[in-house]
Structure formats: structure tokens, C-alpha cells
Amino acid sequence: MLFNLNPKTRREDLYDRENELEEIFKALDLKERFIVIYGIRRVGKTSLLRVALREAKIPHAIIDVRKVYFEHRGVSRVHLYREIASYFTKNLDFFNRLGFRIKDLFRRLKGFHVSEIGVEVEPIMQIRFTDLLEKVNDWCERRDLRFALAFDEAQYLRFSGKVRYDGIFAWAIDNLPNITIIVTGSEVELLREFLKTNDPKAPLYGRYMREVYVNRFSRDQSIGFLKQGFRELGINPNIEEIEEAVEVFDGIVGWLTHYGYYRAMKAVNHRTALREVFEKGSQLELTELEKLIAPSRNRYLAILKAVAQGATSWSDIKTYVIVRTGYIDDKTFTQLLKNLVKYGYLVKENNRYKIPDPIVRYLVIEKL
Ligand code: ADP
Ligand code: MG
């Protein structure tokens, strides 16, 4: 069902994304070792990743790094191991169906235990990430398999304390032929900064990687998505309403899905559905936004308010910020502005700033 709010796992629930799926299949076929998936929030990266790995029928685990961070205020190795274990537990059927002997795999991994109900992790895990990867690689090599380990929202790995995951990735890419590392990031700039693929002194420099971009839906794709979603549920929608929703949600499939969900599953009228997406959607955005702007909340908010109200140039935004929060020097101001771009709350095009997500714009204007 297209209007299901969870990230999709089945190809028939994933609208389009044929080219993106092909890219990932091709990379896996070619035994490529590193795949990076870029895209803004709620554009469908997690859905693409899940569908691709299940369709490719390769053993894999997906770690939701953002979830780990928000649950534990940090990203420790044990938390990542627990995520891997829980991914196996949740997907036992998938592994069974394909005949993967996960008992056999985990027997080799100290600290992991497999039972009827799933995979568990000992509270104190000594095994290093590199050893874990090496063991998985050996297991796969002997069976001529490929294992994909995906870090969803990998930019949050920067909160992993002393462990340098970019270094671990580089090592795995160089030494483990049967492992493919996949990372996704919705804060595109931040992910690039974390991977440092253009920095000659950084571990990932010069490594080949397959880059997959998940873009907003075009107007036609958005219309097609809503029409198909309604048709699946036997609803014949009003085309003017669809066009308005498509206009408002600007190709962000996550919000289109919410709209379809309220309209079709909750059976509310068009206006109410639009309002609900803005209300509930802005609640969803609030926690993460608050967290990111906390270090300089008033100034960040002033910048966002300025842009939400139509200021687009560096100097207009700065004037607004000074009026609201007092003097700020150019350097600090520019840094704060850059951070908001890095976090994906602003985009800069032709030296003009704007808020790319209509729900975030609403949140800034109405709730903050
Ligand atoms: P991201 O990981 O980029 O934030 P998600 O994969 O979580 O995005 O998707 C956001 C929402 O949109 C979810 O409700 C998901 O079900 C839906 N969705 C994303 N892409 C598609 C698609 N191609 N077809 C149908 N629904 C989708
Ligand atoms: Mg996601």
C-alpha cells in the first residue's frame, strides 16, 4: 500500500524509483564495496534501501544510526551491535526464506547469541567492529556470498566518540572483498563532511564509491503517486485536490504519503488532510530541529524566521537577525547560516536562501 506511513520494504509498495533501484543492483552485481545514498529528509532513502536489499536477496543488516543517537544520546559500538541483532530478529523470515544459516554465521561472532526468537547481544561486547566485519567477510567468502551493511543516516556516526567509522569503512573497502558498506544521509553536506572523500589526508580519500541521488518527485510523479495510492484503495480522487496537494508538498513523498493516509485511511476531507499533515508533520520535525539549533537557539531561530518570511539574501537575513537578537559579527552569522544549510534546513541557490521543506517553513512560522 503506497499510503502506509512506515518506510516501504516491498517493491510493489515503492512508487517508481526504478532508476535508483537499478543503480544499487548494478553496484551489488559488480561487487562494489561502497555505496552512498544522498537525499533530503522524507524523500524515500530508507524505503529505497530496504526494498533494494531485500529484492537483491543478499544477506544484509540496516542500522538506523539516527534512532540510536536519539535513543541513547550517543552512538556506541554496543548500540550498533544491538541494532544489527535486532535487524536480524525482525527479518528472520527473510533470512530463512533465502536459506541463510544465520545460526552458523553468529556462532562465529563472540557476544552474539541466536535463539528461536532472534539474535541477542551480550551487555559487554569485546569484539571490535573491524573483527566483526572480518569474520562476516570470511564467512561470506567461503560461501561466495556478499554481505551488505548499511548505515542509515550515517552522519550521526560523528557522535561515536573515539571510534572513527570513516577509517573503519576505508579499511573494509580495501580489505574485505565480500562486504559492501552502504551509507545514507539526509543532511547531505554533513554526510560529505563526515566521509571527507575529497580530503587527501582523510581515510576515505580516493576510494571509489557508487553515489545514488534520491530526488524529490517531479510534478508528474507526485500526481501519479497520489492517483495510484487512491486507486489501490478503490477511491476516485478529485483531480483539483490532488493538484493542490502536489503543489503544496513540493515533491516530498513523505508528506504526500501522509496526505494520502489522512485522506484515504482516516477519511477526512481535503482541507483537513492538508492541515493534519502540517500539524502532525511539524510535530515530527520539531524534536530534531530543536536538538540541532540548541547551541544557539535564538540566533538560529531568527535566521529561520527571516527566511520563512521572505528574506533571501545574506544581508537581509542578517539585518533581521540583528533586529531580533542584537549585534552579531559577520563571521559568526555566516557560520550559523552555513550550519543551517549543512543540516538541510536551508538551501542556497544563486546566493539566495530558502527553506526547502514546506512543513519546516510552517513549523518556523507557526510554532517557534
Ligand atoms: P527518508 O529515509 O528519506 O527520510 P522514508 O523512506 O522514511 O524517507 O520515506 C518517508 C515516507 O514516504 C514513508 O512514509 C514512506 O513510506 C514513504 N515513501 C518514500 N518513498 C516512497 C515511494 N517511492 N513510494 C511510496 N512511498 C514512499
Ligand atoms: Mg530514513
The answer, yes or no, to whether any atom of ligand 1 lies below 6 A from the CB of 43, is yes
Gap from CA of 313 to ligand 2 centroid (Å): 31
Last residue of a domain, one of 165, 186, 213: 213
What is the pTM assigned to this prediction?
A: 0.95
Q: How far apart are CA 178 and CA 18, in angstroms?
A: 25
Do 51 and 199 fall within a single domain? yes
Tell me, what CATH number does 229's domain have?
A: 1.10.8
State residue 331's pLDDT score.
98
Take atom 18 of ligand 1 and give the residue whose Cα is closest: 44
Write out the three cell numbers for 343.
543540516
Last residue of a domain, one of 213, 235, 265: 213
Residue 15 reports pLDDT greater than 90: yes
Residue 101 reports pLDDT greater than 90: no
The answer, yes or no, to whether any atom of ligand 1 lies below 6 A from the CB of 45, is yes
Gap from CA of 265 to ligand 2 centroid (Å): 23
Looking at per-residue pLDDT, the higher value among 117 and 19 belongs to: 19
243, part of any domain: yes
Tell me, what CATH number does 192's domain have?
A: 3.40.50.300
Mean pLDDT value of segment 228-232: 97
Gap from CA of 118 to ligand 1 centroid (Å): 27
Gap from CA of 340 to ligand 2 centroid (Å): 19
State residue 125's pLDDT score.
79
Q: How far apart are CA 258 and CA 280, in angstroms?
A: 9
Residue 137 reports pLDDT greater than 90: yes
- Closest atom, ligand 1, to C-alpha of 43: 3
Do 99 and 199 fall within a single domain? yes
Do 53 and 201 fall within a single domain? yes
Element (H, E) at 195: helix 188-195
Residue 130 reports pLDDT greater than 90: yes
4, part of any domain: no
Gap from CA of 5 to ligand 1 centroid (Å): 8
Indicate the top mutation candidate among 4, 8, 13, 284 to test ligand 1's pocket, ranked by most ligand atoms within 8 A of CB.
8
Do 237 and 201 fall within a single domain? no
Indicate the top mutation candidate among 16, 37, 46, 47 to test ligand 1's pocket, ranked by most ligand atoms within 8 A of CB.
47
How would DSSP label each residue in 5-74? SSPP-SGGGS-S-HHHHHHHHHHHHTT-SEEEEE--TTSSHHHHHHHHHHHTT--EEEEEHHHHHHHHSS
Write out the three cell numbers for 199.
580530503
Residue 80's nearest CA partner among 143, 8, 165 is 165
Gap from CA of 194 to ligand 1 centroid (Å): 24
The answer, yes or no, to whether any atom of ligand 1 lies below 6 A from the CB of 178, is no
The answer, yes or no, to whether any atom of ligand 1 lies below 6 A from the CB of 185, is no
Gap from CA of 101 to ligand 2 centroid (Å): 28
Do 93 and 203 fall within a single domain? yes
Helix, strand or coil, per DSSP, at residue 321? helix
CB neighbour list of residue 240: distance below 8 Å, 6 or more residues apart: none
267, part of any domain: yes
Do 93 and 56 fall within a single domain? yes
Take atom 15 of ligand 1 and give the residue whose Cα is closest: 7
Do 30 and 156 fall within a single domain? yes
Share of the chain above pLDDT 70, in %: 100
Ligand positioned closest to the Cα atom of 344: 1
- Mean pLDDT over all residues of the chain? 95
Residue 5 reports pLDDT greater than 90: yes
10, part of any domain: no
Do 134 and 52 fall within a single domain? yes
Last residue of a domain, one of 179, 213, 247: 213
1, part of any domain: no
Do 64 and 144 fall within a single domain? yes
Do 335 and 252 fall within a single domain? no
353, part of any domain: yes
Gap from CA of 6 to ligand 2 centroid (Å): 10
Structure confidence by residue, pLDDT tens digits, 287-312: 889 999 999 999 999 999 999 999 99
Do 240 and 300 fall within a single domain? no
Q: Determine contact, residues 248/274, Cβ cutoff 8 Å.
A: yes
The answer, yes or no, to whether any atom of ligand 1 lies below 6 A from the CB of 59, is no
Take atom 4 of ligand 1 and give the residue whose Cα is closest: 42
Tell me, what CATH number does 349's domain have?
A: 1.10.10.10
Structure confidence by residue, pLDDT tens digits, 42-66: 999 999 999 999 999 999 999 999 9
84, part of any domain: yes
Residue 336 reports pLDDT greater than 90: yes
Q: Determine contact, residues 88/40, Cβ cutoff 8 Å.
A: no
Residue 283 reports pLDDT greater than 90: yes
8, part of any domain: no
The answer, yes or no, to whether any atom of ligand 1 lies below 6 A from the CB of 66, is no
Do 46 and 185 fall within a single domain? yes
Element (H, E) at 333: helix 330-342
State the residue range of the domain holding 306.
Answer: 288-367
Domain count, the chain: 3
The answer, yes or no, to whether any atom of ligand 1 lies below 6 A from the CB of 47, is yes
Q: Where does the pLDDT of residue 116 fall: very low under 50, low under 70, confident under 90, or very high at 90 and above? A: confident
Residue 198 reports pLDDT greater than 90: no
